Chains A and B, each alone.
Chain A
Amino acid sequence: MVDITAILSTLTKGLGIVNQIIGAKAIPAVTVLQNALPVVVALTELATAAQAGEVTDEQLTATETILDANLDAFNAG
């Protein structure tokens, strides 16, 4: 399972550093944003997947056990 809290914490720290860099005018803001965009897109996808929730192996096994029993009962004739 993806630890969404850890990702958000890292992202917040990263944004703080980016803000300092832009504030110091060390790198043009446009350049920073252009480089950051793919990262933001990837993180958004990651967060979406994490929120959707991945099934655990235990949950999957439980589903399979129930399905096998019901399917076998019908197939038994």
Chain B
Amino acid sequence: MKKILAVALVAFSLGGCATPFGTLIKNVETAVTIGTASIANPVTKTRLNTLERGLNVIAVGLNSWKKDCDDGVIPATCHDQIAAVRVYTLQAKPVLVRLRVFVKNNDQVNAVSAFNNIVDLIADIKAGAAAGGRTINTGS
């Protein structure tokens, strides 16, 4: 009886945190691909370039998704799903502009913060696209 109760509790708790767990996995995946920044691991121009190239791969994938949606190749619900992802890509643009200035001025405190902000947004973008049935990776 105790065993059954324990299994039910575990199943319930796993089911209850499925979404946060999925987000955590996405964040870890992005952090491993692009890395996160810290004062000990500063944002150099090379790291900025790596981040931007990764984000560009995502942007290309998003535009392909958008084209399929506009062409009616995929179900019409894609318009809402794309709009949900666009919330994050619209946030990314101004952060990216600030990040570039911080890196060029070697303002590492703000650069690290902006860099990690973009990494989080990339995870949100990928998770949003995945929720809409589109798998988008940052590449290598």
B117 within 8 A of A: no
Chain B CB count within 10 A is highest, among A70, A72, A73, for A70
A7 within 8 A of B: no
Check A67–B55 contact: CB distance below 8 A.
Answer: yes
Bound complex: CA A73 to CA B89 (Å): 11
Partner of B93, one of A52, A53, A75: A75
Q: Count of chain A residues with Cβ under 8 Å from any Cβ of B? A: 18
Partner of A63, one of B49, B89, B92: B49
B26 within 8 A of A: no
Q: Which of chain B's residues have a CB closer than 8 A to the CB of A71?
A: 55-56, 59, 89, 92-93, 96
Min C-beta distance of B46 to chain A, whole Å? 5
Return 24 A-B CB contacts under 8 Å, by A number.
Answer: A54-B44, A54-B45, A54-B46, A63-B52, A63-B53, A63-B56, A67-B52, A67-B53, A67-B55, A67-B56, A70-B59, A70-B62, A70-B63, A71-B59, A71-B89, A71-B92, A71-B93, A72-B93, A74-B62, A74-B66, A74-B86, A74-B89, A75-B86, A77-B86
